[in-house]
């Protein structure tokens, strides 16, 4: 019989006497874990330059809002008419009290720009929370129950939708002598919830037909559990988009009301723009720099809302 060679042993797949290892069997690749809508949205946002730029701007604005003392040591209310009456800006002294000049009462424009961010952003965030909660509840109840409840709440929404937003807010604020931050938030929120309610109602009507909602009903889940555990998490995406974009609009609305003399009784960009309008021929800087900060703030939040909308809307991808 012929001898079996080493080559024959290797070809048969047996162990090699010289210590060679047998061929490896291919391993199956691990399946990639599926991402949720929020996971896909976050992955898109991290690659969006609009989201990155707006987030950096908003972070800086939040630092100015919560820690104004980090940026200036000047008092935004007290002024010195003898020394600083309509003193022109010294743009070479970046960060100093003289940097953006002084107003007609001898107050530092730079200090007022820094401290004015607190009022405007506080009103914007507060109004957005009120509008989102109130409008979300009305829209969810109307969309889930339907029938007579939907008809009543929809007609109520139409009534508020037909009232001009700024005009209605001005009527309410005109009845208050002391217009604090909470008063302005309440007035803006009282007329601003209608859009969120409509968006939420449409999302709930679509979501409540899903199989998992019908299964929860068949298993005997209570109505509050179905609404807040199963429907609400799946209808938040369009509401978040509307709320994010509206935040910049509410900041602009607060400045408009302050410019008309019906806003906050304190340091505000709108008040400074209004004061600067009376001195625009001799001291343009009083009005210029609060206007620039207001524009940057509104633009940052609108850009953020646009980026969130593009990430959460599957049709945009």
For the chain, the domains span 38-316
Reported as a single tens digit per residue, the pLDDT across 104-119 is 787 888 888 888 888 8
Closest CA to 253 of 189, 160, 197: 189
Reported as a single tens digit per residue, the pLDDT across 270-294 is 888 887 777 777 777 788 888 888 8
Which residues, including other chains, have CB under 8 Å from residue 309's CB and lie 6 or more apart? 241, 244, 245, 316
Q: Please name the fold of domain 38-316.
A: MetI-like fold (1.10.3720)
The confidence score (pLDDT) of residue 181 equals: 85
Reported as a single tens digit per residue, the pLDDT across 156-182 is 888 888 888 888 888 888 888 778 888
Beta-ladder partners of 190: none
pLDDT confidence of 47, banded at 50, 70, 90?
confident
The confidence score (pLDDT) of residue 130 equals: 92
Residue with tokens 């004061």: 275
With both helix axes pointing from N to C terminus, report the angle between 49-66 and 109-145 in degrees, rounded to the nearest 10: 120
Portion of the chain with pLDDT greater than 90, in percent: 3
Closest CA to 248 of 287, 296, 290: 296
What is the mean predicted confidence (pLDDT) over 24-48? 59
- Confidence check: pLDDT of 248 > 60: yes
Query: What is the sign of the dihedral through the CA atoms of 171, 176, 177 and 182?
Result: negative
If DSSP codes are grouped into helix, strand and coil, which group holds residue 108? strand
> Distance (Å, rounded) from C-alpha 146 to C-alpha 131?
22
CB 219 within 8 Å of CB 88: no
Of the listed ranges 12-26, 216-230, 302-316, the least confidently predicted one is 12-26
Residue with tokens 């953020």: 304
In whole angstroms, what separates CA 179 from the centre of its chain? 25
What is the mean predicted confidence (pLDDT) over 75-84? 74
Number of C-beta neighbours around residue 40 at 10 A:
15
The confidence score (pLDDT) of residue 2 equals: 47
> Distance (Å, rounded) from C-alpha 76 to C-alpha 84?
13
- Confidence check: pLDDT of 14 > 50: no
- Confidence check: pLDDT of 49 > 60: yes
Portion of the chain with pLDDT greater than 70, in percent: 81
Exposed/middle/buried for 117, CB within 10 Å: 0-12, 13-18, 19+?
Answer: buried
């Amino acid at each position: 019989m012929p001898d079996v060679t080493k080559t024959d042993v290797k070809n048969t797949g047996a162990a090699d006497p010289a210590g060679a290892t047998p061929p490896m069997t291919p391993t199956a690749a691990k399946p990639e874990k599926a991402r949720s809508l929020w996971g896909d949205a976050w992955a898109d946002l991290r690659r969006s330059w609009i989201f990155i730029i707006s987030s950096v701007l908003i972070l800086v604005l939040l630092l100015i809002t919560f820690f104004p003392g980090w940026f200036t040591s000047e008092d935004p209310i007290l002024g010195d008419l003898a020394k600083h009456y309509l003193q022109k800006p010294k743009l070479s002294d970046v960060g100093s009290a003289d940097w953006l000049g002084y107003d007609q009462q001898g107050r530092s424009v730079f200090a007022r720009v820094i401290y004015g961010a607190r009022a405007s952003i506080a009103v914007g965030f507060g109004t957005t929370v009120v509008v989102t909660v109130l409008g979300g509840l009305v829209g969810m109840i109307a969309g889930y129950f339907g029938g007579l409840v939907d008809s009543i709440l929809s007609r109520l929404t139409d009534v508020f939708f037909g009232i001009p937003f700024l005009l209605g807010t001005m009527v309410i604020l005109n009845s208050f002598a002391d217009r604090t931050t909470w008063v302005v938030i309440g007035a803006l929120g009282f007329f601003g919830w209608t859009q969120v309610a409509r968006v939420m109602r449409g999302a709930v009507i679509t979501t409540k037909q899903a199989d998992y909602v019908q299964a929860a009903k068949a298993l005997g889940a209570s109505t509050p559990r179905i609404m807040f555990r199963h429907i609400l998490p799946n209808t938040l995406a369009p509401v978040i988009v509307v709320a994010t974009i509206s935040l910049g609009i509410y900041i602009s609305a607060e400045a408009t009301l302050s410019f008309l003399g019906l806003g906050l009784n304190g340091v505000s960009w709108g008040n400074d723009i209004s004061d600067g309008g009376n001195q625009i021929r001799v001291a343009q800087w009083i009005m210029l720099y609060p206007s620039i900060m207001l524009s940057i703030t509104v633009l940052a939040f609108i850009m953020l809302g646009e980026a969130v909308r593009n990430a959460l809307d599957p049709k945009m991808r």
